[in-house]
Chains A and B, each alone.
Chain A
Amino acid sequence: MSELETTSADKSAAGAQINPVDKIFSSRFGHFLSDIGKNGIFIALIAVVVLFQVLTQGVLLRPQNVSNLIVQNGYILILAIGMVMVIVAGHIDLSVGSVAAFIGAVSGVFAVTFGFPWWLAIVLSLVIGALVGAWQGFWIAYVGIPAFIVTLAGMLIFRGLALVVLGNQNIGSFPDAYRSVGSGYLPNLLGSFPVDPLTIGVALIAIIFFIVHQVRTRRGRQSYDQEVEPLVWFVIKLVLVVAGLGWFAYSLASFKGLPITLLLLAFLILIYGIVMNRSVFGRHIYAIGGNRHAAELSGIKTRVVTFWLFVNMGVLAALAGLVFTARLNLAGPKAGDGFELEAISAAFIGGAAVQGGVGTIGGAIIGGLIIGVLNNGMSILSIGVEWQQAVKGLVLLLAVAFDVYNKRRSGGR
């Protein structure tokens, strides 16, 4: 190979020369954009929140609405976690909406029609979700059919099966304990006050952990002689996030306290964050997505990893279906409609790459929150569903375009 691909400067300059968009921005603005790019999605989330806060004349950030925001859009975040992992590995899953509907229906049959105890219904539903994932994982990993096709088929199959299970009716009136998964709150264990102290307490603990983690990460990077942002920026970011978290907790505390959905989400984000960033399994996922052949020839069992990725997605799709059904207190044929598109959008807005190998849990969560705020905000403004669709599509397009532009400027692929 000649040195056609030698220096990064060479490459980025070459890209800059050929890229006409670059001529539009002078280099100073460009640098500014690139700094934003790294924290881009975060700033985008703040921007969207501010925008809708203004448009809804303050309704968006009322305590009740903040609580609703989390509870109503929890399912997107759960799906986004599984979806970003699948996308990083270089695949996609189009079936999650239908699977969520199917599991919702199945759980209805268990909990209501058969009258199983609520926890048994939930466990069985998750197991069935895993089996669905195993089914799709088998075709993708071991037979070698592209995930796009297998999950497209799954989208049809499981929507159909959901209707079969429901027998063309809705199943309603789930037991209370089951419903609390979707719409319940932690009881006011520290007593009833206008502002729930339990929520504040939990929030304080979370904030302290967050600060400690950020400081340790920064120190860790410094010990590797890695670039860190100037101390001023770091402190400002920290203050902003802590203020946001604190205010968020206060909002929740002023309403009904901590939603169970939020606790569930926090748990999932923590676990999956560790899996993707620090575990061997997560490392394998990134390696497969970055270059499947190199991963295989380095001894990584790509088929096994892919199989379990889809089992995982099946379980998370089931969980999302349960949360959604529990909140609606209804298992119906229309459930899950369009979930996959929201989950996929969340992952890509959060910075995942179409070719695979790039993407983070954190990014997907923020992407999911952006979609959640869009959903919520537009509903408050009574914007029709058709316009909501159009807006969400546009946001996805612009978000990824911005991300691609930033990556190209910094000399990426």
Chain B
Amino acid sequence: MTNTILEMRSITKTFPGVKALRDVTIDVARGEIHAICGENGAGKSTLMKILSGVYPHGTYEGDVVFENEEVAFRNIRDSEADGIVIIHQELALSPFLSIAENIFLNNEIRGFGGLIDWNKTNFEAAKLLARVGLKENPTTPVLQLGVGKQQLVEIAKALSKRVKLLILDEPTAALNDDDSDHLLDLIVHLKQQGITSIIISHKLNEIKKIADSVTVIRDGAVIETIAGEDVTEDRIIRGMVGRDLENRYPDHTPDIGAELLRVENWTVHHPQDSTRVVVDRVNLSVRRGEIVGIAGLMGAGRTEFAMSVFGHSYGSRISGTIYKEGVAITTRTVSEAIANGLAYATEDRKRFGLNLIDDIKRNISMAALHKLEKHGLVDEKEEFAIAEDFRKSMNIKAPSVLAITGKLSGGNQQKIVLSKWIYSDPDVLILDEPTRGIDVGAKYEIYTLINSLAARGKGIIVISSELPELIGISDRIYTLSEGRITGELPVAEATPEKLIKYMTMEKPASLV
């Protein structure tokens, strides 16, 4: 019994017109944590789809050898039967079903007469939850859990399938630092129980922390496999991008002017439970040319703050004042907010930011159609020209502006969202997690864009869960905890440790 649990040999996968994988060979040792890194489009998920059976045997060239036997999976059930379980980034949980129902979905524990034995189901589910460290009642509907806990349910589900090789696709992308740490610890813990893991991730610091070896893939080919001590962020980046990225964050010389936007005493209550305060007397300001960061744990109220400011799109019983260049304004509807020079790029671009079935140009024009309006009709020639300009200046990788947005990569989609807002000529842009799910190269492009917007005199508010990112691009950072502003630091004084301290400050007992 050799030490290699998985060998993928000379895997080549071609789609019409494009070779997604070229002669890819990787070895995964039994019981190791093996990371796979690569830019969007490099071929990572294609490789994992072959391994998990989504692309069945016969649709690719090369061999997959699992536990010393050549395997030919026809579908996911085949790979799961052998002990290979893949957890996709978009969690495959059914929101209204309970934790236990989700864990045993399509794998139900049957009792008398083939009917489901609920007692046993909940019992087994509780055991699995204990293994992943999730203290929840197994009968809880999954939608009541935060993303971090849902992720743990997925892992419990994998454990119920007696997993030998666990594949995790961007497992911490939607998690805050606390949940991320917990998850990474769990993966290490599973390693100690003999479960091998393959992690696809962009988060280089996490990979450095737990991965035993890293395979870097670029343009469908393996660049190298780095093991043990040689795993450094710089080396991974160089492999992924093909060049050294000396600075992850572009140089930024702030040219800060007068106060542009000031929010005073902003209070928002929960939309369903109007006694619950979600944003608590927040005071915040942005000046011309300034990039202001908002740091906070998930649930701190950052997105809720932004959305409530932007047209009262979230929340009930909203109170407070907004001043634009010293003049009080109201933003009771989204169009009022836009008319007052605000723009808001949402956290979840697919759900809230784009019409995925429509083309690029119509998405870009969506927030500013009045600029293209002649006698009630849309000037389509002008729309096309404007979109073309953005395609070039933002470096959107698509054959033309008639390409359907839903088919483009995350980085390109985000650029389209930003184009939409830039086209609406705002003075203040609020960007909510602008680089989530985007590869290193595209992130750099977006940082550069943010800088150029600031240089043009706009005020930018950036909400991000990545503290190094906030520190790398902001001029000033606010920290939000449980709906209150707990700190305001010029970036020179900000360190991740200090920020976390402020981000975790609890409400003083007297104010509860």
Q: Which residues of A contact B (CB under 8 A)?
A: 1-11, 13-14, 17-18, 224-226, 274, 278-281, 283-284, 286-287, 290-291, 293-301, 357-358, 411-413
Q: Indicate if the CB atoms of B173 and A280 lie closer than 8 Å.
A: no
Q: Indicate if the CB atoms of A298 and B420 lie closer than 8 Å.
A: yes
Q: Indicate if the CB atoms of B16 and A297 lie closer than 8 Å.
A: no
**Minimum CB–CB distance for A354 against chain B, Å:** 13
Q: Indicate if the CB atoms of B357 and A10 lie closer than 8 Å.
A: no
Chain B residues, Cβ within 8 Å of A8 = 404, 407
Chain A residues, Cβ within 8 Å of B42 = 3
Q: Nearest residue in B to A291 (C-beta to C-beta)?
A: B355
Q: Indicate if the CB atoms of A297 and B45 lie closer than 8 Å.
A: no
Q: Indicate if the CB atoms of B354 and A5 lie closer than 8 Å.
A: no
Chain B residues, Cβ within 8 Å of A274 = 377
Q: Nearest residue in B to A1 (C-beta to C-beta)?
A: B437
Q: Indicate if the CB atoms of A280 and B369 lie closer than 8 Å.
A: yes
Contact of B353 among A9, A13, A294 (CB under 8 A): A294
For this complex, 5 residue pairs linking A to B, each with C-beta atoms less than 8 Å apart, are: A3-B410, A7-B20, A287-B355, A294-B366, A300-B335
Q: Indicate if the CB atoms of B335 and A301 lie closer than 8 Å.
A: yes
- A7, B406: Cα distance in complex, Å: 10
- A283, B361: Cα distance in complex, Å: 12
**Minimum CB–CB distance for B18 against chain A, Å:** 5
- A413, B357: Cα distance in complex, Å: 8
Given contacts A1-B89, A2-B200, contact A280 B313 (CB under 8 A): no
Chain B residues, Cβ within 8 Å of A226 = 400, 402
Q: Indicate if the CB atoms of B334 and A1 lie closer than 8 Å.
A: no
Chain A residues, Cβ within 8 Å of B16 = 9, 13
| Per-residue A-contact encoding for B39-54, CB less than 8 Å = 1, 0 else | 1111011100100001
Q: Indicate if the CB atoms of A290 and B358 lie closer than 8 Å.
A: yes
Given contacts A224-B402, A279-B378, A296-B313, contact A3 B44 (CB under 8 A): yes
**Minimum CB–CB distance for B206 against chain A, Å:** 15
Q: Indicate if the CB atoms of A7 and B41 lie closer than 8 Å.
A: yes
- A293, B173: Cα distance in complex, Å: 23
Q: Indicate if the CB atoms of A2 and B89 lie closer than 8 Å.
A: yes
Contact of A4 among B88, B355, B436 (CB under 8 A): B88
Main secondary structure of the interface of A (DSSP, over half): helix
Given contacts A7-B18, A274-B377, contact A224 B384 (CB under 8 A): yes
Is B478's beta carbon under 8 Å from chain A? no
Is B61's beta carbon under 8 Å from chain A? no
| Per-residue A-contact encoding for B366-402, CB less than 8 Å = 1, 0 else | 1101100100111010001000000000000000101
Q: Indicate if the CB atoms of A9 and B18 lie closer than 8 Å.
A: yes
Chain B residues, Cβ within 8 Å of A283 = 362, 369, 378
Q: Indicate if the CB atoms of A10 and B376 lie closer than 8 Å.
A: no
**Minimum CB–CB distance for B12 against chain A, Å:** 14
- A1, B347: Cα distance in complex, Å: 12
Q: Indicate if the CB atoms of A4 and B55 lie closer than 8 Å.
A: no
Chain A residues, Cβ within 8 Å of B169 = 2, 4
Contact of A299 among B20, B334, B357, B408 (CB under 8 A): B334
**Minimum CB–CB distance for A199 against chain B, Å:** 31
Chain A residues, Cβ within 8 Å of B354 = 291, 294
Contact of B367 among A286, A293, A298, A357 (CB under 8 A): A298
- A299, B342: Cα distance in complex, Å: 11
Per the 8 Å Cβ criterion, residues 24-77 of B in contact with A are 39-42, 44-46, 49, 54-56, 59
Contact of B358 among A3, A11, A357 (CB under 8 A): A357
* A-B CB pair tally, cutoff 8 Å: 146
Q: Indicate if the CB atoms of B376 and A280 lie closer than 8 Å.
A: yes
Chain A residues, Cβ within 8 Å of B437 = 1-2
Chain B residues, Cβ within 8 Å of A412 = 357
Q: Indicate if the CB atoms of B407 and A290 lie closer than 8 Å.
A: no
Q: Indicate if the CB atoms of A290 and B357 lie closer than 8 Å.
A: yes
Q: Indicate if the CB atoms of A5 and B373 lie closer than 8 Å.
A: no
Per the 8 Å Cβ criterion, residues 426-452 of B in contact with A are 436-438
- A3, B54: Cα distance in complex, Å: 15
- A300, B365: Cα distance in complex, Å: 12
Chain A residues, Cβ within 8 Å of B366 = 287, 294-295, 298, 300
Is B352's beta carbon under 8 Å from chain A? yes
Chain B residues, Cβ within 8 Å of A413 = 357, 406
Q: Indicate if the CB atoms of A3 and B355 lie closer than 8 Å.
A: no
- A13, B21: Cα distance in complex, Å: 14
Q: Indicate if the CB atoms of A1 and B173 lie closer than 8 Å.
A: yes
Q: Nearest residue in A to B400 (C-beta to C-beta)?
A: A225
Q: Indicate if the CB atoms of A299 and B335 lie closer than 8 Å.
A: yes
Given contacts A9-B17, A13-B16, A291-B356, contact A299 B410 (CB under 8 A): no
Q: Indicate if the CB atoms of A299 and B338 lie closer than 8 Å.
A: yes
Q: Indicate if the CB atoms of B357 and A7 lie closer than 8 Å.
A: no
Chain A residues, Cβ within 8 Å of B369 = 280, 283-284
**Minimum CB–CB distance for A245 against chain B, Å:** 26
Contact of B44 among A2, A14, A279 (CB under 8 A): A2
Q: Indicate if the CB atoms of A278 and B402 lie closer than 8 Å.
A: no
Q: Indicate if the CB atoms of B351 and A281 lie closer than 8 Å.
A: no
Is B333's beta carbon under 8 Å from chain A? yes
Chain A residues, Cβ within 8 Å of B373 = 280
Per the 8 Å Cβ criterion, residues 404-428 of B in contact with A are 404, 406-410, 420, 424
Is B344's beta carbon under 8 Å from chain A? yes
Given contacts A2-B437, A295-B355, contact A278 B407 (CB under 8 A): no
Chain A residues, Cβ within 8 Å of B370 = 280
Is B170's beta carbon under 8 Å from chain A? yes
Give 10 nearest A-B pairs by CB, closest first.
A1-B437, A290-B355, A9-B15, A3-B40, A1-B410, A298-B367, A8-B407, A299-B335, A298-B366, A299-B338
- A358, B355: Cα distance in complex, Å: 12
Chain A residues, Cβ within 8 Å of B358 = 286-287, 290, 357
Q: Nearest residue in A to B20 (C-beta to C-beta)?
A: A10
Chain A residues, Cβ within 8 Å of B18 = 7, 9
- A166, B505: Cα distance in complex, Å: 71
Q: Indicate if the CB atoms of B334 and A4 lie closer than 8 Å.
A: no
Besides the known contacts A9-B18, A14-B55, A297-B334, 15 further A-B residue pairs in the complex with CB atoms under 8 A apart = A2-B89, A2-B437, A3-B40, A3-B41, A3-B44, A5-B410, A9-B17, A13-B16, A17-B56, A290-B358, A291-B351, A294-B354, A297-B352, A300-B366, A413-B406
Contact of B40 among A2, A225, A284, A296 (CB under 8 A): A2
Q: Indicate if the CB atoms of B45 and A3 lie closer than 8 Å.
A: yes
**Minimum CB–CB distance for B475 against chain A, Å:** 27
- Residue with the greatest number of chain A CB neighbours at <10 A, chosen from B335, B355, B373: B355
- A281, B377: Cα distance in complex, Å: 8
Q: Nearest residue in B to A300 (C-beta to C-beta)?
A: B366
Is B197's beta carbon under 8 Å from chain A? no
Q: Indicate if the CB atoms of A3 and B376 lie closer than 8 Å.
A: no
**Minimum CB–CB distance for B14 against chain A, Å:** 9
**Minimum CB–CB distance for B313 against chain A, Å:** 6
- A286, B420: Cα distance in complex, Å: 17
Q: Indicate if the CB atoms of A297 and B410 lie closer than 8 Å.
A: no
Chain A residues, Cβ within 8 Å of B409 = 3, 5-6
Chain B residues, Cβ within 8 Å of A286 = 355, 358, 362
**Minimum CB–CB distance for A302 against chain B, Å:** 10
Q: Indicate if the CB atoms of A290 and B356 lie closer than 8 Å.
A: yes
Given contacts A1-B410, A300-B366, contact A279 B355 (CB under 8 A): no
- A278, B383: Cα distance in complex, Å: 12
Given contacts A8-B407, A224-B402, contact A293 B40 (CB under 8 A): no
Given contacts A280-B373, A294-B352, A294-B355, contact A4 B400 (CB under 8 A): no
